[in-house]
């Protein structure tokens, strides 16, 4: 019974809070660019607007185009349920572990890439080609980060590193690896640009070009959730946190602050990276992800050495 | 008596080696076969084995009469130059034949260590006949020489078997005779065909067909 | 069963039964499929011949995995290779079939030569051809001999399995065979080579040196990457599937190599786990690769071409085939909750637990191998997005695809059965692992009574105290429930109707199939990223009307076939050169040949004096 409450709470949290994160990052970016920019709550308004609009579906598209939003949304929610948020053990511990997370991400990506090819437009094909390229190179880096963390804590269970008391060097390097992978997976500069719709600079947006209305809202929501999942993971790896002592109210208050604060720190880091560097050429992304892979190997070696 | 017959076999082989034209070669082959026939007859009466009479008869019928007759017919049919086409001239061939005789004599003395000189000499002559047949095949250009060389080799093997090892089983002998006869017929046919196609039976010229 | 067949020739232990199961579970749907596939394309005499050859082929494979006598094994191995050669050149109209068959028969016989060498060495040491006798003799065999026999067996079975660089026949032979045969060849025949490796190396020879497992892991890693990179480049759908088979053999051998490695390190639990992972991927690959080849055959039968650049939009014309292909593609890309996901997850877990528990420098090596597996998994997903997307989705790119029709029922039945198996083998993972544990323990000789690989009937748990769980039924349930929830949200919130309209064309009103993405374009980033290995070649040609107006533009690109050009062609050139130089003694003259014999004879006589 307790589990079901936790599951529902976790789902609601992810669905409701994740757009804020995106809004926060764009607010920070705009602040650095000395613009007023959009508000933090803008993504909510976007989603509401999309939900109220009708949809235009391409006549060349098939049923794959129609079911992709639901598949992507479902896979992201399942991933969200695998992460420990409120308690130290994820509510659906028995469904999968850290390695399974990689594969569940690829489920959503597979269908999104197929739906992009489904419409028959060159943008879609280009987007799906680049997205599969980037994600296939990001997978070894992601896998290395997972291995590093798991070797350090002795299990690939996502909850394994939840109760850590000290920060290990391998965790920090694995966190940096995961950070680089997050930039690739959430389509941020220097890998991809979320703000533009120019074909030179789109990867994720190119795949979504034909979507409109509520389907687009579902896919955007899935992207926000994915971002939040990855931020949570990095936060827990790099800044491990343990449960507060029950009953000590000031400590609980500071605990909540620190709990949210570390995610905000990562958001600030992402925003800084986005603002500081220019978007890379697609083939340079291979080098970028290669760097992430090497860092992952270093993290694994540190974990093996026990550092 | 045996020694004289063996000596005549040797002489007929030398005759074949120095033959310059086809009829001479076939004649030498007939002499050789006749001597072998006499030898077998002698052995048959000496050992009193009825099989040997039959073999001797077959020898006479096939190798003394039929096969040379077939070969004569082939020569008449294809109307080629009766010249055998020698790679090695008769005098040198004779010299080589003598060398081979000596070599086979040494070979047989190493093989059979016995006091009986007849056995050694029989082996030597038999082996020499095989070598001579091979030599014929190598040093003559005409296809007919190949056929006769094969037949001479078979003669030598027959002599070897009947002297040193006391003869081969009866049916094997019959089978060999049949084999030889059929192969001569076939080879004769092929020689005819080769001539028809190339208007000669010079095997040397056939080397133009190499891959 | 063992008293029906004479006991001295057959061995029905769990490994053989498992492989028998694999053989029949793939051959039966393929046979049903061939009912519809062969009709109409061939004369009835040829169809009878096809059935006859198929029967002998399946029977020979069944005998290969069940005999317990080395000589009989070789006989049936040869029969299997020969019959598959006849099946590869079955389509004698295409000259490519003849060429493919030639390459196949030569490569498979090179492999058999290595096998014969290995078996002769085994016989010499054991004095008998029987498996059990050889097994007991191998326990006292010196280490050097074992190493040599291992290398010979690896080369022999590696040729049939398709380990790089002996894989070169696979992309030629598998596309040319009729599709149901391709599915059996790719699904089952190359697995018999894995059976050979497991039976002869692990069961009979007995793994004692750790470098055996490491060598196999290195080779398997290279095979994975080479296979999938080439698969991304090709445009013939069956060649793509053949290269993907090479990749999956690499993944299977990662599991088997790990098992050998752990067995040499005397770590029973991990050895059994990796062996389970390898065998699980073996049967999974048999199922989904068999399914994919049958679907490719359906596409070929419906459209007449295997070139995916000429296809497209088939999902509307052949909806059922598209679903089956999608299920197969999802399986091979290791998407949850299907079967490929479970076996790849298990292999990664074996790597992780190995890296955790093993002592020494092998840890980093195992971690890097796991990264290679992750990379090939990502590339495989990309490859099958391309294969499915370009073939089935969007608009037809040519008339071949426009006139496609759905395939007859028998073909659909075969594909349906296999796609059902893809799903079942994903959801019923726990049951299957229990069976595979029995098989692994019979092969490696470790006792599994104290091992448990599952938490309950639905959840896998590779190591009990580490709280690592995977439950594919639960994942499937979650995905479906949340998908439906998403659909409910979709329906509830917002209003507005859906309009069907043209694809966005940037205002260029003449959009059509030419604007679609092509397969070559899809794989371009991969071609560039791996160009150090693929050595692509590009040629462009512009035909200009005037300086400013380019009338037409020709673009040609291909990738260098590295193995063919740098390994096999020099080897062949060397063989031809040697043969040519041998020609010099063959002048065509009979006299010369006879002279050779004569001189030898004379020399022998002369030299007899020495003795």
C247 contact residues in A (CB cutoff 8 A): none
Q: What is the mean pLDDT of residues C368-390?
A: 94
Q: Please state, for a pLDDT cut of 90, what percent of chain B lies above it.
A: 23
CA angle (C541, C544, C546) in 5-degree steps = 155
Q: How far apart are CA C275 and CA C251, in angstroms?
A: 12
What pLDDT, on a 0 to 100 scale, did the predictor assign at position C4? 47
Residue with tokens 């971002």, as numbered in its chain? A227
Does A have 3 or more CB contacts under 8 Å with B?
no
Q: How far apart are CA C9 and CA A120, in angstroms?
A: 59
Residue A96 tokens, joined: 């999968």
Whether residue C1 is predicted with pLDDT greater than 60 in this model: the reply is no
Closest CA to A171 of A148, A205, A200, A187: A148
Across the interface, whether the CB atoms of C367 and A282 are under 8 A apart is answered: no
- Worst-scoring range by mean pLDDT, C15-29, C73-87, C288-302, C489-503? C489-503
Q: How far apart are CA C407 and CA C40, in angstroms?
A: 12
What ranges do the domains of chain C cover?
11-188, 207-529, 562-610
Q: How far apart are CA A136 and CA A124, in angstroms?
A: 18
Closest CA to C206 of C285, C126, C322: C126
Q: How far apart are CA B206 and CA C56, in angstroms?
A: 47
Whether residue C326 is predicted with pLDDT greater than 60 in this model: the reply is yes
What pLDDT, on a 0 to 100 scale, did the predictor assign at position B60? 86
Report which of residues A18 and B109 the model is more confident about: A18
CA closest to A217 among chain C residues = C490
Give Cβ neighbours of residue C23 (< 8 Å, ≥ 6 apart). Answer: C58, C61, C62, C65, C188
Give Cβ neighbours of residue A91 (< 8 Å, ≥ 6 apart). Answer: A3, A6, A7, A10, A81
Please name the chains neighbouring B, where neighbouring means 3+ C-beta pairs under 8 angstroms.
Answer: C
Give the gap in angstroms from C-alpha A80 to the nearest C-alpha of chain C. 11
Continuous segment of H or E residues that includes residue A58: strand A55-58
Give the gap in angstroms from C-alpha C603 to the nearest C-alpha of chain B. 10
Residue A269 tokens, joined: 């880091």
Give the gap in angstroms from C-alpha C93 to the nearest C-alpha of chain B. 30
Across the interface, whether the CB atoms of A104 and C475 are under 8 A apart is answered: yes
Across the interface, whether the CB atoms of C497 and A54 are under 8 A apart is answered: yes
pLDDT in tens, C258-313: 999 999 988 888 999 999 999 999 999 999 999 999 999 999 999 888 899 889 88
Please name the chains neighbouring A, where neighbouring means 3+ C-beta pairs under 8 angstroms.
Answer: C
Q: How far apart are CA A87 and CA A243, in angstroms?
A: 8
Give the gap in angstroms from C-alpha B57 to the nearest C-alpha of chain C. 32
Cβ–Cβ < 8 Å for B35, B9: yes
Split at pLDDT 50, 70, 90, the class of C247 is very high
Whether residue A23 is predicted with pLDDT greater than 80 in this model: the reply is yes
- Alpha helices, DSSP H, located in chain A: 2-32, 42-52, 63-82, 98-118, 122-153, 169-185, 204-207, 213-238, 249-276, 282-305
Q: How far apart are CA B132 and CA C198, in angstroms?
A: 61
Across the interface, whether the CB atoms of B110 and C608 are under 8 A apart is answered: yes
CA angle (B103, B105, B110) in 5-degree steps = 100
Give Cβ neighbours of residue A227 (< 8 Å, ≥ 6 apart). Answer: A18, A21, A22, A182, A186
In a structure prediction context, what are the per-residue pLDDT tens digits for chain B, which is 211 residues long? 778 888 999 999 999 999 988 889 999 999 999 999 988 888 777 777 777 788 888 888 888 888 888 888 888 877 767 777 788 888 999 999 999 999 888 888 887 777 777 778 888 999 999 999 999 988 888 888 888 998 999 989 888 888 766 667 777 888 888 888 888 888 877 777 777 777 666 666 666 666 5
Interface test with C, best of B138, B147, B149, B201 (most C CBs within 10 A): B138
Q: Please state, for a pLDDT cut of 90, what percent of chain C lies above it.
A: 46
Cβ–Cβ < 8 Å for C318, C407: yes
Split at pLDDT 50, 70, 90, the class of C3 is very low
Cβ–Cβ < 8 Å for B133, B151: yes
Residue with tokens 């491990």, as numbered in its chain? A240
What pLDDT, on a 0 to 100 scale, did the predictor assign at position C603? 83
Let me know if C603 is exposed, middle or buried by CB neighbors in 10 A (0-12, 13-18, 19+).
Answer: exposed
Q: How far apart are CA A161 and CA A157, in angstroms?
A: 8
For A99-138, give the DSSP string. Answer: HHHHHHHHHHHHHHHHHHHHT--HHHHHHHHHHHHHHHHH
Across the interface, whether the CB atoms of A103 and C334 are under 8 A apart is answered: yes
Indicate the residue of C455, C503, C526 with minimum beta-carbon distance to A119. Answer: C503
Work out whether the CA dihedral C49, C55, C56, C58 comes out positive or negative. positive
Q: What are phi and psi of C500, to 5 degrees?
A: -95, 130
Continuous segment of H or E residues that includes residue C442: helix C429-444
pLDDT in tens, A222-246: 999 999 999 999 998 888 877 776 7
Q: How far apart are CA C155 and CA A233, in angstroms?
A: 45
Give Cβ neighbours of residue C45 (< 8 Å, ≥ 6 apart). Answer: none
What pLDDT, on a 0 to 100 scale, did the predictor assign at position C6? 56
Cβ–Cβ < 8 Å for B153, B126: no
What pLDDT, on a 0 to 100 scale, did the predictor assign at position A173? 93
Across the interface, whether the CB atoms of A118 and C470 are under 8 A apart is answered: no
CA-to-CA separations, C542 to A2, C518, C539, C547, C551, in angstroms, rounded: 70, 20, 10, 11, 8
What ranges do the domains of chain A cover?
2-305
What pLDDT, on a 0 to 100 scale, did the predictor assign at position C611? 61
Q: What is the mean pLDDT of residues C355-378?
A: 90
Residue A144 tokens, joined: 């290395």
Does A have 3 or more CB contacts under 8 Å with C?
yes
Which residues on adjacent β-strands are paired with residue C454?
C460
Please name the chains neighbouring C, where neighbouring means 3+ C-beta pairs under 8 angstroms.
Answer: A, B
What pLDDT, on a 0 to 100 scale, did the predictor assign at position B203? 67
Residue C547, CB half-sphere, CA atoms under 13 Å: how many?
0
Whether residue C227 is predicted with pLDDT greater than 90 in this model: the reply is yes
Split at pLDDT 50, 70, 90, the class of C210 is confident
Report which of residues C499 and A132 the model is more confident about: A132
- Worst-scoring range by mean pLDDT, B148-162, C345-359, C458-472, C565-579? C458-472
Give the gap in angstroms from C-alpha B195 to the nearest C-alpha of chain C. 17
CA angle (A71, A72, A73) in 5-degree steps = 90
CA closest to C355 among chain A residues = A151
A140 contact residues in C (CB cutoff 8 A): 371-372, 374-375, 378
Q: How far apart are CA A201 and CA A281, in angstroms?
A: 9
CA-to-CA separations, C176 to A253, C202, C411, in angstroms, rounded: 70, 34, 19
Residue with tokens 């992952």, as numbered in its chain? A296
Long-range contacts (CB closer than 8 Å, 24 or more residues apart) made by B17-21: B17/B90, B17/B93, B17/B94, B17/B96, B17/B97, B17/B132, B17/B135, B17/B136, B18/B90, B18/B91, B18/B93, B18/B94, B19/B84, B19/B90, B20/B83, B20/B84, B20/B86, B20/B90, B21/B82, B21/B83, B21/B84
Cβ–Cβ < 8 Å for C134, C128: yes
CA angle (B42, B60, B132) in 5-degree steps = 85
B153 contact residues in C (CB cutoff 8 A): none
pLDDT in tens, C117-145: 999 999 888 888 888 888 888 888 888 88
Residue C340 tokens, joined: 């490929």
Across the interface, whether the CB atoms of A95 and C500 are under 8 A apart is answered: no
Q: What is the mean pLDDT of residues C340-347?
A: 93
pLDDT in tens, A257-271: 888 898 999 999 999
Report which of residues C374 and B62 the model is more confident about: C374
CA closest to C515 among chain A residues = A122
Let me know if B115 is exposed, middle or buried by CB neighbors in 10 A (0-12, 13-18, 19+).
Answer: exposed
Interface predicted TM-score (ipTM) over 0.90? yes
Give the gap in angstroms from C-alpha A7 to the nearest C-alpha of chain C. 11
CA angle (C230, C256, C328) in 5-degree steps = 50
Q: What is the mean pLDDT of residues A176-196?
A: 90
Work out whether the CA dihedral A254, A256, A257, A259 comes out positive or negative. positive
Closest CA to A184 of A296, A95, A39, A87: A296
Residue B135 tokens, joined: 């030599």
For C538-590, give the DSSP string. Answer: EEEEEEESSSS-EEEEEEEEEE--HHIIIIIHHHHHHHHHHHHHHGGG--S-H
Give the gap in angstroms from C-alpha C579 to the nearest C-alpha of chain B. 12
What pLDDT, on a 0 to 100 scale, did the predictor assign at position C19? 94
Question: Dihedral, CA atoms, C168, C170, C176, C180, nearest 10 degrees?
Answer: 180
Give the Cβ contact number of residue B163 at 10 Å: 20
Indicate the residue of B87, B103, B137 with minimum beta-carbon distance to C605. Answer: B103
């Amino acid at each position: 019974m307790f589990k079901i409450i936790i599951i529902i709470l976790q789902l609601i949290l992810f669905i409701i809070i994740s757009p804020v994160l995106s809004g926060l990052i764009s607010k920070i970016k705009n602040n650095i660019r000395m613009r007023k920019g959009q508000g933090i709550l803008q993504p909510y308004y976007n989603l509401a607007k999309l939900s109220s609009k009708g949809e235009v579906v391409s006549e060349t598209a098939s049923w794959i185009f129609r079911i992709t939003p639901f598949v992507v949304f479902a896979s992201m929610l399942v991933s969200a349920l695998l992460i420990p948020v409120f308690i130290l053990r994820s509510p659906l511990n028995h469904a999968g572990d850290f390695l399974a997370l990689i594969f569940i991400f690829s489920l959503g990506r597979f269908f999104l890439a197929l739906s992009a090819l489904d419409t028959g437009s060159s943008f879609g094909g280009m987007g799906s080609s680049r997205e599969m390229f980037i994600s296939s190179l990001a997978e070894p880096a992601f896998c290395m980060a997972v291995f590093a963390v798991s070797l350090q804590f002795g299990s690939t269970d996502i909850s394994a590193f939840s109760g850590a008391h000290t920060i290990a060097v391998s965790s920090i390097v694995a966190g940096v690896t995961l950070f680089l992978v997050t930039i690739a997976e959430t389509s941020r500069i220097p890998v991809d640009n979320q703000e533009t719709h120019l074909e030179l600079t789109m990867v994720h947006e190119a795949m979504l070009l034909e979507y409109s209305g509520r389907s687009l809202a579902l896919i955007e929501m899935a992207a926000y959730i994915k971002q939040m999942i990855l931020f949570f993971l990095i936060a827990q790896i790099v800044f491990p946190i343990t449960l507060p002592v029950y009953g000590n109210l000031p400590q609980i208050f500071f605990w909540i602050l620190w709990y949210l604060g570390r995610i905000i720190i990562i958001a600030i880091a992402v925003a800084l990276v986005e603002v500081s560097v220019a978007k890379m050429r697609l083939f340079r992304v291979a080098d970028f992800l290669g760097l992430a892979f090497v860092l992952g190997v270093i993290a694994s070696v540190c974990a093996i050495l026990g550092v | 008596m045996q020694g004289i017959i063996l000596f005549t076999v040797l002489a007929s082989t030398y005759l074949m080696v120095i033959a310059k034209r086809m009829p001479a070669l076939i004649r030498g082959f007939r002499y050789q076969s006749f001597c072998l026939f006499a030898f077998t007859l002698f052995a048959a009466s000496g050992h009193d084995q009825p099989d040997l009479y039959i073999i001797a008869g077959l020898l006479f019928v096939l190798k003394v009469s039929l096969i040379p007759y077939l070969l004569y017919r082939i020569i008449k049919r294809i109307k080629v130059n009766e010249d055998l086409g020698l790679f090695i001239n008769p005098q040198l061939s004779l010299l080589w034949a003598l060398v081979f005789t000596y070599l086979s004599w040494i070979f047989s003395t190493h093989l059979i260590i016995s006091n009986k000189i007849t056995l050694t000499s029989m082996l030597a002559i038999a082996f020499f006949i095989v070598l001579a047949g091979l030599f014929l095949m190598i040093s003559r250009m005409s296809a007919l020489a190949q056929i006769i060389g094969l037949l001479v080799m078979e003669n030598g093997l027959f002599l070897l078997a009947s002297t040193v090892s006391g003869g081969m089983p009866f049916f094997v002998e019959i089978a060999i005779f049949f084999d030889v006869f059929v192969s001569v017929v076939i080879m004769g046919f092929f020689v005819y065909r080769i001539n028809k196609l190339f208007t000669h039976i010079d095997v040397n010229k056939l080397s133009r067909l190499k891959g | 069963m063992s008293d029906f067949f004479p006991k001295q020739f057959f061995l029905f232990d769990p490994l053989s039964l498992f492989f028998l199961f694999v053989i029949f579970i793939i051959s039966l749907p393929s046979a049903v499929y061939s009912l519809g596939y062969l009709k109409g394309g061939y004369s009835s005499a040829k169809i009878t011949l096809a059935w006859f050859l198929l029967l002998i082929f399946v029977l020979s494979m069944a005998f290969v995995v069940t005999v317990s006598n080395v000589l009989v094994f070789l006989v049936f191995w040869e029969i299997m290779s020969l019959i598959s050669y006849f099946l590869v050149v079955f389509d004698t109209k295409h000259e490519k079939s003849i060429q493919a068959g030639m390459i196949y028969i030569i490569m498979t016989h090179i492999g058999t030569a290595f096998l014969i060498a290995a078996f002769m060495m085994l016989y010499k040491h054991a004095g008998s051809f029987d498996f059990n006798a050889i097994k007991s003799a191998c326990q006292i065999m010196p280490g050097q001999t074992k190493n040599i026999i291992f290398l010979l067996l690896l080369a022999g079975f590696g040729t049939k399995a398709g380990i790089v660089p002996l894989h070169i026949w696979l992309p030629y032979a598998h596309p040319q065979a009729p599709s149901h045969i391709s599915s059996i060849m790719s699904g089952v025949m190359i697995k018999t080579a894995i059976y050979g490796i497991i039976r002869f190396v692990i069961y009979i020879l007995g793994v004692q040196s750790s470098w055996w497992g490491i060598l196999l892991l290195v080779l398997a890693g290279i095979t994975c990457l080479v296979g999938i990179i080439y698969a991304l480049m090709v445009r013939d759908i069956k060649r793509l599937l053949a290269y993907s088979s090479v990749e999956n053999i690499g993944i299977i051998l990662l599991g088997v190599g790990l098992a050998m490695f752990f067995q040499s390190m005397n770590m029973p639990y991990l050895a059994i786990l990796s062996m389970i992972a390898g065998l699980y991927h073996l049967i999974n690959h048999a199922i989904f690769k068999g399914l994919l080849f049958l679907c490719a055959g359906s596409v070929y039968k419906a459209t007449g071409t295997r070139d995916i650049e000429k296809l497209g939009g088939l999902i509307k014309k052949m909806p059922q085939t598209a679903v089956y292909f999608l299920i197969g593609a999802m399986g091979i890309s290791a998407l949850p909750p299907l079967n490929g996901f479970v076996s790849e997850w298990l292999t990664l877990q074996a790597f992780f637990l190995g890296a955790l528990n093993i002592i020494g420098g092998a840890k980093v090596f195992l971690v890097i191998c796991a990264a290679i597996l992750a990379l090939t998994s990502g590339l495989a997903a990309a490859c099958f997005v391309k294969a499915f997307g370009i073939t089935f989705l969007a608009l037809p790119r040519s008339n071949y695809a426009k006139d496609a029709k759905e395939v007859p029922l028998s073909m659909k039945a075969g594909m349906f059965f296999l796609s059902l198996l893809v799903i079942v083998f994903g959801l019923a993972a726990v049951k299957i692992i229990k069976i595979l544990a029995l098989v692994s323990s019979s092969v490696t000789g470790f006792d599994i009574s104290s091992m448990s690989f599952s938490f309950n009937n639905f959840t896998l748990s590779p190591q009990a105290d580490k709280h690592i769980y995977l439950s594919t039924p639960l994942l499937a349930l979650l995905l479906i429930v949340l998908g439906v929830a998403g659909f409910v949200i979709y329906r509830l919130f917002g209003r507005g109707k859906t309009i069907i309209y043209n694809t966005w064309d940037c205002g260029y009103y003449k959009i059509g199939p030419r604007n679609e993405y092509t397969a070559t374009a899809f794989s371009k980033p991969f071609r560039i990223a791996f160009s150090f290995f693929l050595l692509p070649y590009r040629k462009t040609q512009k035909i200009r009307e005037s300086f400013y107006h380019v009338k037409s533009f020709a673009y040609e690109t291909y990738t260098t076939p590295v193995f063919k050009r740098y390994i096999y062609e020099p080897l062949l050139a060397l063989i031809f050169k040697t043969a040519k130089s041998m020609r010099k003694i063959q002048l065509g003259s009979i006299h010369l040949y006879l002279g050779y014999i004569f001189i030898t004879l004379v020399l022998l006589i002369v030299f007899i004096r020495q003795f």
